[in-house]
């Protein structure tokens, strides 16, 4: 079995793009502290939307879906799940909420990972929750035509428990030493978790929950307000590609993790940029129309109604629609396409 020793990351040379990402994320994190202390009411408006989007997107990556209205009602506990997909969606939301509320008290160790995995199946009749895999599995990608392709062959089932124990111990040891930047350690840990693929099911969703947990524990709480899972879902093809590239030679400790580190840092940086944009919009006591107008002004190229709704979660769908109609009437934007294919551009 391959070795797991994150102290070796200290000897690697990281390219300029990765170092630039780390520097910029550090700057955003510094400003994040100011927002948290000075604008708590503004930030409260973002939390519910982020939980809904994270739950929807992380499940969508795995092909687990329901309607947007039911996603929201499930998350808000207004309805009961009606099928297996909705059971899995609700289980994900429960674990995500646990992380949001208690991340300071959740240590990174094998027993905790098993408990989080168990809770993913809280509403399911499956008996695999909280248990390591008992058969060989594979990292696959589902194509739009319904076919699946194998991206990577993980560790064998009997190796999984020991491997998870080793990555947790090495990660905690290096975090305590403080010699390696946590923005390098976190994607390294998540990459190893995915390559180990320790469970029969839900490895992908667990990896995204663990990413959120690790970021929160080290002060990068942007995922509480902006959905990191949604950003991964929107770049799903790239996600699979970098995971595959970084997996070459993994079993022999010869992998190049730069691809995966760069991808994860790009996702985090994008979330921080969106975070500051939305705080700016909410912080000015603007009317619904003014919020939509400001959101439109921030868009480049074509945009959709749903994209504007994401930037203005404190106002209703009807208010967004009315505001877009006013902008159309004022000849500030123009509409193209019909139905779900409708999009807008600034004139």
Buried b / exposed e over 274-286, threshold 16 CB at 10 Å, is bbeebbebbeeeb
Tokens of 6: 């994150």
For residue 278, give Cα distances in angstroms to 35, 272, 326: 12, 10, 22
282 against 168, higher pLDDT: 168
Q: Note the CATH architecture for domain 6-282.
A: Orthogonal Bundle (1.10)
**Can you tell me the distance from the alpha carbon of 50 to that of 59, in angstroms, rounded to the nearest whole number?**
14
Q: Over 90: is that where the pLDDT of 259 sits?
A: yes
Q: Is the pLDDT of residue 218 over 90?
A: yes
Percentage above 70 pLDDT, the chain: 97
Which helix H or strand E contains 334, and what residues bound it? strand 333-336
Strand partners, 152: 139
Tokens linked to 124: 């399911």
- The class of domain 288-346 in CATH terms is mainly alpha
C-alpha 343/C-alpha 335 separation (Å) is 6
Q: pLDDT of 45-104, one tens digit each?
A: 677 778 888 888 877 887 777 777 787 788 777 788 888 888 888 889 899 999 999 999
Residue 162 or residue 65, greater confidence: 162
Please tell me the predicted confidence (pLDDT) of residue 61.
80
| Per-residue model confidence (pLDDT) at position 42 | 65
Give pLDDT, residue 219: 93
In whole angstroms, give the CA distance from residue 214 to residue 206: 12
Q: Show me where the domains of the chain are located.
A: 6-282, 288-346
Mean of the per-residue pLDDT values of the chain: 89
Please enumerate, as own/partner, the contacts of 291-300 that have beta carbons within 8 Å and a separation of 24 or more. 291/315, 291/323, 292/319, 292/320, 292/323, 292/324, 292/327, 293/323, 293/327, 293/332, 296/324, 296/327, 296/332, 296/333, 296/344, 296/346, 297/346, 299/346
Do residues 268 and 208 make contact, with C-beta atoms less than 8 angstroms apart? Answer: no
177 pLDDT exceeds 90? Answer: yes
For the segment 198-210, what is each residue's pLDDT rounded down to a tens digit?
Answer: 999 999 999 999 9
User: How sure is the predictor about 281, in pLDDT bands with cuts at 50, 70 and 90?
Assistant: low
The pLDDT of 319-324, averaged and rounded, is 92
- In a 3-state reduction of DSSP, which class is residue 141? strand
Residue owning tokens 């799940």? 81
The predicted structure's pLDDT at residue 235: 93
Output the pLDDT for position 195: 95
pLDDT digits (tens, 9 = 90+) for 106-138: 999 999 999 999 999 999 888 899 999 999 998
At 284, the pLDDT band (50, 70, 90 cuts) reads: low
- Assess contact for 153 and 170: CB atoms under 8 A: no
CA angle 177, 178, 183 (to 5 degrees): 135
Q: Which residue has the higher pLDDT, 314 or 334?
A: 334
| Percent of the chain residues topping a pLDDT of 90 | 56
């Amino acid at each position: 079995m391959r070795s797991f020793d994150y102290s070796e990351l200290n000897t690697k040379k990281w390219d300029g793009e990765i170092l630039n990402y780390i520097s910029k994320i550090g700057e955003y994190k510094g400003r994040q502290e100011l927002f948290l202390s000075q604008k708590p009411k503004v930030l409260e408006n973002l939390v519910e939307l982020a939980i809904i989007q994270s739950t929807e997107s992380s499940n969508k990556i795995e092909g687990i879906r329901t309607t947007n209205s039911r996603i929201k009602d499930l998350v808000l506990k207004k309805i009961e799940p009606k099928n297996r997909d909705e059971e899995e969606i609700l289980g994900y939301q429960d674990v995500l909420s646990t992380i949001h509320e208690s991340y300071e008290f959740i240590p990174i160790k094998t027993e905790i990972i098993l408990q989080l995995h168990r809770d993913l199946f809280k509403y399911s009749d499956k008996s695999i929750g909280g248990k390591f895999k008992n058969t060989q599995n594979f990292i696959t990608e589902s194509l739009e035509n319904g076919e699946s392709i194998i991206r990577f062959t993980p560790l064998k089932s009997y190796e999984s428990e020991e491997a998870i124990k080793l990555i947790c111990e090495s990660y905690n040891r290096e975090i305590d030493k403080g010699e390696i930047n946590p923005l390098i350690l976190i994607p390294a840990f998540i990459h190893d978790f995915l390559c180990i693929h320790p469970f029969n099911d839900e490895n992908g969703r667990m990896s995204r929950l663990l990413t959120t947990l690790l970021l929160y524990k080290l002060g990068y709480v942007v995922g509480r307000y902006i959905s990191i899972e949604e950003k991964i879902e929107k770049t799903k093809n790239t996600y699979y590609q970098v995971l595959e590239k970084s997996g070459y030679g993994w079993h022999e400790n010869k992998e190049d993790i730069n691809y995966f580190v760069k991808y994860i840092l790009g996702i985090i940086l994008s979330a921080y940029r969106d975070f500051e944009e939305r705080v700016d919009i909410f912080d000015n006591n603007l009317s619904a129309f003014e919020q939509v107008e400001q959101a439109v002004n921030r868009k480049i190229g074509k945009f959709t109604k749903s994209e504007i709704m994401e930037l203005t979660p404190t106002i209703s769908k009807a208010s967004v629609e009315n505001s877009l109609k006013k902008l159309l009437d004022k000849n500030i934007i123009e509409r193209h396409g019909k139905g779900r294919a409708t999009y807008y551009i600034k004139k």
